[in-house]
Structure 1
Amino acid sequence: MIAHSVLLLSLLTLCQVGAGSESFSQDELKGEEKEGKLEEEIKPAQKSKDPFRRVWMLKDVGNAEDFINGASISVIAFLKDPESDHGDVVNEVLQSVKHLPFGICSNVTVWKKYNITNNTISLFRKFDEGRIDYELKDGEVDPSQVIQFLRQNEMRLVIEYNHLDATQIFGSGIPFHLLLLVSKKSSGYPAIHKLFHDVAREYRGKVIFVLVNTDVRENARVISYFKVKESELPAFCLFHTETEMVDVMKANNSSAETLRQFCNNFMDGKAKSPVKPPRPPSEEL
């Protein structure tokens, strides 16, 4: 299992070398400092494992708005008491998502602005569904669920295969990956992409939807891995990281219902012809 997952991870990594970026750049993820408006807190909570983890303390609405507008994606922990048990949970969480701008807010006015009533972790995105909240329940002291929530929801509904660090895909904890192998230059691309994106909304947190542009020369490695012939393109390829099984379906003339059925059957172990692809020769890597 590990060998094949690492193999596909290697293929993903190799394919992004030299590619441009339409996904999150480091500048986007770091956020822009607003001089005179944001107070930057370099020193984290007392129990922090990393004394250099950067956290923004948001003391008013202007601070919060500047912080959210400064990046394509950001996180705010709305905490009544940062020294509480929930504060300890947040401290563990921010050490595990160091690539995301992270703010903490206890200001009542800001809470009203964003309709917050209880301790909450909010993920603000300038794409797809926008903001999404994780409310911390009383007595909840396990940060793993919050970390999983952030990792699964920080990704776009459809990930451009060439433009994302592969570790984000495999680090999400989602074992089902659905790849669309398609030429972005083809006449049928807009309709297939819309179908793919629309269905992806229903599988957020269950299946990672990845777009693979077959026009990119480096992506031939991926097409080869799934044993898809050029005559079979465009195609949907499902991959399960835990069992290493693969299933392929031609994308032409597909509907939302057939794509849902393809996903559900594979996830339920009812796929008609799942296969385990052989390991490519080492020289192909």
Structure 2
Amino acid sequence: MKAIIGLLALVAAEITTEGGVLVGTKENFDEILENNDFVLVEFYAPWCGHCKSLAPEYESAAGKLAESNPEIKLVKIDATEEGDIAGEFDVGGYPTLKFFKNGNRNNGIEYGGGRQADDIVSWLIKKSGPAAIELSGADAAKAAVADNDVIVVINGKSDEFMAAADSNDDVTFAILDEEAAAELKVDAGKIALFKTFDDGRVDYTGADSADDISAFVNSESLPLVSEFNDETAPKIFGGDITQHVLLFAAKSDGTYDENYAAMSTAAKDFKGKTLFVVVDCDVEDNSRVLEFFGLTQENCPAVRLIQMGDSMAKFKPETEEITATSLSSLVEGVESGAITRHLMSEDIPESNDGPVFTIVGKNFEETVNDPAKHVLLEFYAPWCGHCKALEPTYEKLGKHFADRDDVIIAKTDATANEFDGVDVQGFPTIKFFPKGEDADVIEYEGDRSLEALILFVESDGTEGNEGGDEDEDYDDEDYEDYDDEEDYEDYDDEGHDEL
């Protein structure tokens, strides 16, 4: 008997905690899953910046759950030490969070909530309980409406309502009994959404369809105007509305309230189709967002429209005046095609006589489309270490071809200049624009040595464009990932530090 007790104590001792979070390993992970009905697992790396930011919120969430919902456990696994477990669950970036129910390791659910402690707690409570809660009596109904920023209720039963509830991680869904329905004035079979902002209540008039109900909830769950921050970003980016109007304005500015009111007025006409978002220029963390749109704090207040997706197309209003009318005209102009995509560009350099020619948005077309010249163009980012490492070689390359009138060795800052139809997925990206009419652009994927680059250009792009993957100095680590969306979506809680 003592041997059994000792063995159990030894096994229990192998599961340690840090800040209220269980520390998972290959040796104890099975036991953690088997002994706990609901488990959220964070796969992290010690060097990961996103993981370090998440850590205090994750520990805070663990503490809150220990008091309110002790059946839910939070676990962290160092994926750099526990490679077998990370491999089993296809961990491709850090942090990766997966939710497991009832010990089933084959059906881990990707975490889809925010990264604040309250977001984590709310998401887990919903995922570990019924898709919709039951509200009995007038007092329960009043309390639920008061306690939730957004709550969707139904007077009756509907499989489609339950399906919509099950698919939504952010909003509370509830089924009303007769007294609760009477208190909230919801007729039999009807659905209503209550919120602590805007109109306060919206009655659903659509079809009995999970997709339609979900679309209604997603549309109505955000205020007419949302402030951009790490708490609201998951809702802004997680919905189906991909067209966003952004007001860049400092709250300290005397015109802020007036401009915000203009946004609120315009937003009413495009509800469910376009999101209206305010980015506070006073917040230091928003500087990358400003940079992504080619703006500085001195440019505030300013308005831009962006269409999320592959193109990440940006649009600029025809006037700097910010009124409900000008904002509506921007949306209508983009939708009609009257306002075309705005491509950022630096000014053309006054002096451009160096061995490497500087291309900006304003001189891109005329330079790369010159039928009498080959153009080798490096797309770089000022912060890219690999671009900096390439710079001396690229300068030598420019000097090598300085006497060739038909060759231009060029570079462009791809964070400050945009080019229609040019796809840049990482830095540095090097593209060859051959001379001649309608010649196909060739992406350079060879060795970044001077010899290989010279061969590539002198052969008109037919030689030297292979072997990069085999060269020990050129592999995936020599290519810095670039995601257009990350600069605007950096607050989106899907963010990872890649492996």
Does residue 1:270 correspond to 2:338, yes or no?
A: yes
- State the AA in 1 paired with 2:279: V
Determine the C-alpha separation between the residues in 1 that align with 2:318 and 2:337.
Answer: 19
Q: Which consecutive unaligned segments of at least 5 residues does structure 2 have?
A: 1-49, 55-113, 345-417, 428-479, 487-499
Query: CA deviation digits over 1:71-100, x for unaligned, max 9?
Result: 222121221xx3xxxx21122111112332
Determine the C-alpha separation between the residues in 2 that align with 1:73 and 1:162.
Answer: 19
Does residue 1:57 correspond to 2:134, yes or no?
A: yes
Q: Which residue of 2 aligns with 1:89?
A: 160
Determine the C-alpha separation between the residues in 2 that align with 1:155 and 1:88.
Answer: 25
Determine the C-alpha separation between the residues in 2 that align with 1:126 and 1:104.
Answer: 19
Query: Quick check: 1:28–1:72 contact (8 Å CA) kept in 2?
Result: no
| Residue from 312, 329, 335 that aligns with 1:244 | 312
Query: Quick check: 2:186–2:192 contact (8 Å CA) kept in 1?
Result: no
By how many angstroms is 1:228 displaced? 2.2
Q: Which residue of 2 aligns with 1:99?
A: 170
By how many angstroms is 1:70 displaced? 1.8
Query: Quick check: 2:131–2:166 contact (8 Å CA) kept in 1?
Result: no
Q: Which residue of 1 aligns with 2:292?
A: 225
Determine the C-alpha separation between the residues in 2 that align with 1:197 and 1:67.
Answer: 27
Determine the C-alpha separation between the residues in 1 that align with 2:272 and 2:286.
Answer: 25
- TM-score between the two structures when normalised by the length of structure 2: 0.43
Higher mean alpha-carbon deviation, 54-63 vs 178-187, is at: 54-63
- State the AA in 1 paired with 2:305: L
Higher mean alpha-carbon deviation, 50-59 vs 143-152, is at: 50-59
Does residue 1:117 correspond to 2:184, yes or no?
A: no
- State the AA in 2 paired with 1:125: K
- What's the C-alpha RMSD, in Å, of the aligned pairs? 3.4
Determine the C-alpha separation between the residues in 1 that align with 2:247 and 2:260.
Answer: 9
Identical residues among aligned pairs (%)? 21
| 1:203-218 alignment runs, 5 A limit | 203-218=270-285
Query: Quick check: 1:119–1:136 contact (8 Å CA) kept in 2?
Result: no
* Count of matched residue positions in the alignment of Structure 1 and Structure 2: 241
By how many angstroms is 1:269 displaced? 2.4
Determine the C-alpha separation between the residues in 2 that align with 1:28 and 1:131.
Answer: 23
Q: Which residue of 2 aligns with 1:162?
A: 229
Determine the C-alpha separation between the residues in 2 that align with 1:271 and 1:183.
Answer: 26
By how many angstroms is 1:260 displaced? 0.8
Determine the C-alpha separation between the residues in 2 that align with 1:272 and 1:135.
Answer: 36
Query: Quick check: 1:192–1:251 contact (8 Å CA) kept in 2?
Result: no
Three-state SS of the structure 2 residue aligned to 1:246 is strand
Q: 1:174 to 1:131 in 2, by over 3 A?
A: same
By how many angstroms is 1:266 displaced? 1.1
Query: CA deviation digits over 1:173-208, x for unaligned, max 9?
Result: 112101111111112212111211222222211111
By how many angstroms is 1:244 displaced? 2.3
Determine the C-alpha separation between the residues in 1 that align with 2:252 and 2:263.
Answer: 16
Query: Quick check: 1:118–1:136 contact (8 Å CA) kept in 2?
Result: no
Q: 1:184 to 1:144 in 2, by over 3 A?
A: same
- By relative contact order (CA 8 Å, sep 6+), the higher-ranking structure is 1
Does residue 1:171 correspond to 2:238, yes or no?
A: yes
Q: 1:30 to 1:123 in 2, by over 3 A?
A: farther
Q: Which has the larger radius of gyration?
A: 2
- State the AA in 2 paired with 1:99: D
Three-state SS of the structure 1 residue aligned to 2:316 is strand
By how many angstroms is 1:129 displaced? 1.6
Query: CA deviation digits over 1:24-64, x for unaligned, max 9?
Result: x7759989xxxxxxxxxx9x9xxxxx673363322222221
Determine the C-alpha separation between the residues in 2 that align with 1:102 and 1:230.
Answer: 41
By how many angstroms is 1:164 displaced? 2.7
Three-state SS of the structure 2 residue aligned to 1:53 is coil
Q: 1:30 to 1:268 in 2, by over 3 A?
A: farther
Query: Quick check: 2:248–2:303 contact (8 Å CA) kept in 1?
Result: yes
Q: Which residue of 1 aligns with 2:216?
A: 149
Query: Quick check: 1:236–1:250 contact (8 Å CA) kept in 2?
Result: no
Query: Quick check: 1:122–1:133 contact (8 Å CA) kept in 2?
Result: yes
Higher mean alpha-carbon deviation, 50-59 vs 89-98, is at: 50-59
By how many angstroms is 1:145 displaced? 0.9
Q: Which consecutive unaligned segments of at least 5 residues does structure 1 have?
A: 1-13, 32-41, 45-49
Q: 1:252 to 1:183 in 2, by over 3 A?
A: farther
Q: Which residue of 1 aligns with 2:203?
A: 133
Q: 1:134 to 1:26 in 2, by over 3 A?
A: farther
Query: Quick check: 1:161–1:211 contact (8 Å CA) kept in 2?
Result: yes
Q: 1:51 to 1:213 in 2, by over 3 A?
A: closer
By how many angstroms is 1:230 displaced? 4.5
Three-state SS of the structure 1 residue aligned to 2:315 is strand
Determine the C-alpha separation between the residues in 2 that align with 1:195 and 1:29.
Answer: 34
